[in-house]
Amino acid sequence: MRLSSALRTALVALTAFVGAAFSSAAHADSGFVTLTIYKAGWIIGGSGGGGTLTFRGRTYPLSTGGLDYGLVFGGSKTVLRGRVSNINHPSDVAGVYGAAGAGLAIGRGARAIVLTNQKGAVLELTGHQVGLMANADLSGLAITMR
C-alpha cells in the first residue's frame, strides 16, 4: 500500500511539473524584429547598430553590439528581418546571442541565421549583407532595449 501511495504521489507531482512547463511555453508569444548591423574588423572585429522589435502592437527600439574573434577581414552592413519567438515580454529579446560561422560577402549577399539567447528567445532572421567581408569566427551579438 505504502509503495503505491508514494508512486501515485510521485506521478501527480511529475504531471504537475510537466503541465507547468508546458503551460509557460504555451503562453509564450512572438514578435517581429528588424536589425541593421555594421561590422568591421581585422582578426578581431566589432559590430554595432540598432533596430526595432514589434510585439503585441507596439514598437520598441533596440541597440546591438558585438565582438568577433577569428579570421575577420573587411567591413559590411547587414539588414536582417524576421521573427522572434518564445518571448513573454519585450525585454526577453534583450541578451547575448552567440554564433560560430563562416562567410564571404563581396558586394551584396544573402544572410540567414537562427540565434537563441539565455532567456530562450529565438531569432529567425534573413536579409542581405553589403560590403567586403570575409570571416570564419566565433561571434557574439548583444541586443539591448533602448
Residue pLDDT, tens place only, 40-97: 988 788 889 999 999 999 999 999 998 877 777 888 898 999 999 999 999 999 999 8
User: How does pLDDT run across 119-129, given as a tens digit for each residue?
Assistant: 999 999 888 88
132 within 8 A of 74, measured Cβ to Cβ: yes
Residue 8 lies in a domain: no
66 within 8 A of 142, measured Cβ to Cβ: yes
Residue 17 lies in a domain: no
pTM confidence score:
0.73
Mean of the per-residue pLDDT values of the chain: 80
Question: Residue 14's pLDDT is what?
Answer: 46
Q: State the average pLDDT over residues 26-37.
A: 89
Distance from C-alpha of 19 to C-alpha of 16, rounded to nearest angstrom: 5
Residue 133 lies in a domain: yes
Q: Which of 135, 72, 143 is nearest to 109 (CA)?
A: 135
Question: Residue 79's pLDDT is what?
Answer: 92
Question: Residue 24's pLDDT is what?
Answer: 46
Domain range spanning residue 77?
28-145
Question: Residue 97's pLDDT is what?
Answer: 87
The number of distinct structural domains making up the chain is 1
Looking up residue 55, the CATH number of its domain turns out to be: 2.40.128
Residue 2 lies in a domain: no
Q: What percent of the chain has pLDDT over 70?
A: 71
Distance from C-alpha of 32 to C-alpha of 7, rounded to nearest angstrom: 45
